[in-house]
Amino acid sequence: MDSKNPGLYLHIPFCLTKCSYCSFYSQTDVSLIPDFIEALGKEMEMAGAGFSSPFDTVYIGGGTPSVLSPRQIEKILAGIEKSFRLSRGTEFTLEANPGDLDLSLLRSLKNLGINRLNLGIQSFDPQTLAFLGRRHTVEEAIKSADAAREAGFDHIGLDLIYGVPVQPLGLWRDTLSQAVAFYPEHLSCYQLTLEDDTPLAEGCRRGGFSPPGEDELLQFFLTTSEMLENSGFIHYEVSNFSRGPKYASRHNQKYWDHTPYLGLGPSAHSFSGSARWWNTRSLNDYLKTLQSGNLPIEGKEILTREQLRMESWFLALRTRKGVHIEEFNAQYGEDFLSYNSGILKTMQEQGHLVLEDGHLRPTRTGLALADSLARI
Ligand code: SF4
């Protein structure tokens, strides 16, 4: 049974340099870190009161949380303990940049209670790292993964990116092989997307490079899935692989099945019931609003039953678990299979969906088509 306890996300809005493809909110002026930590403490106190059930996941992301010192991370964790009830065995994830890590920092993070480490490796090829504007080297990536194991982390995730114009399929296969050789518990393989207002999108518009076409990307996707499943990983969501069910991200699962989550820090999003709300993106506005005693919420929407129903499909069909037919029918008062009978039958005949154990599940090719499946 999946947990319906809420999850807590903290957005750390600092990076030492900006990667060329990134549209996440962060800024490079780290002199504001102490003010941010004070403000985050206030936000935790104010927002924590709205959630009565204990949280069972905490995800510290960003930005680059590993630009913080152990003392600063300890202060944030103390704020969490003070403002929220946590379940026993809470999953504590921290995202880290390989260039920031050494054995001593990793040991401190482990001692502070971080029990899941997500390393932004992205590639084991120097040219790909340079194209993406990453500030770490291949050597640092290798060292950080080794050091994380030596520090005692037994739940390590590596993030990788494919579909980079300078990266032929053979090079991507090498990166996957190197990643598997570390024996990580989790791998996330994201397709590079050209987000508006990023230097990479601008470079493409100016004709600096051509992104891979759809057929090529499909090849990357299918190769990734096949290689990793042959290496013992479960392909449990479009971009995510785990070495067995217990290593699937408990926190991310909440985003896919409408479990409540609270997001704090600039640009963070939250969801509960049928409400979704989000914080201001600007760190300065975030600090000012909290200093004046208010929550930095910029917008809120209430999803209609129809929107929730559509999202519920869209998100479930991005996971191998798929749609639980009986639960869906009970929740939305609608016979899911007969309502969509024509298209579902076609998709099954084409091998993109299978009906098993009361679920409609995407196959490997179904996961590759997850975005179009969501439009049926
Ligand atoms: S380190 Fe992560 S958050 Fe920071 S700019 Fe690069 S991709 Fe974006």
Q: Is 19 in the pocket of ligand 1 (CB under 6 A)?
A: yes
CB of 64 closer than 6 A to ligand 1? yes
CA separation for the pair 206, 200 (Å, rounded): 10
pLDDT of 1 above 50: no
Q: Where do the domains of the chain lie, and which CATH numbers do they carry?
A: 7-256 (3.20.20.70), 305-373 (1.10.10)
Residues found in the chain: 376
CA distance 239 to 189: 5
CA of 322 to the centre of ligand 1 (A): 31
Which of ligand 1's atoms lies nearest the C-alpha of 23?
Answer: 8
pLDDT for the residue 374? 62
Q: What's the pLDDT score for residue 373?
A: 66
pLDDT of residue 52: 79
Q: Which two tokens stand for residue 13?
A: 């809005």
63 prior amide bond cis, ω within 30: yes
Q: Could you tell me if the CB of 368 is within 6 A of ligand 1? A: no
Global confidence as pTM: 0.95
pLDDT in tens, 103-132: 999 999 999 999 999 999 999 999 999 999
Mapping DSSP to helix (H, G, I), strand (E, B) and coil, where does residue 131 land?
A: helix
Place of tokens 């913080």: 68
Hey, CA dihedral for 123, 125, 126, 131, is it positive or negative?
negative
pLDDT of the residue at 129: 97
Q: What is the pLDDT of residues 298-326, one digit of tens each?
A: 999 999 998 999 899 889 999 999 999 99
Neighbours of 166 (CB within 10 A): 13
Atom of ligand 1 nearest to the CA of 17: 5
Q: Look at residue 375 in the predicted model and tell me its pLDDT.
A: 62
Burial of residue 331 (CB within 10 Å: 0-12, 13-18, 19+) is: middle
Distances (CA, A) of 65 to 9, 33, 109, 128, 153: 12, 11, 11, 23, 17
Given this model, what pLDDT does residue 268 score? 98
18: pLDDT strictly greater than 70: yes
Q: Distance, CA 213 to ligand 1 centroid (Å)? A: 25
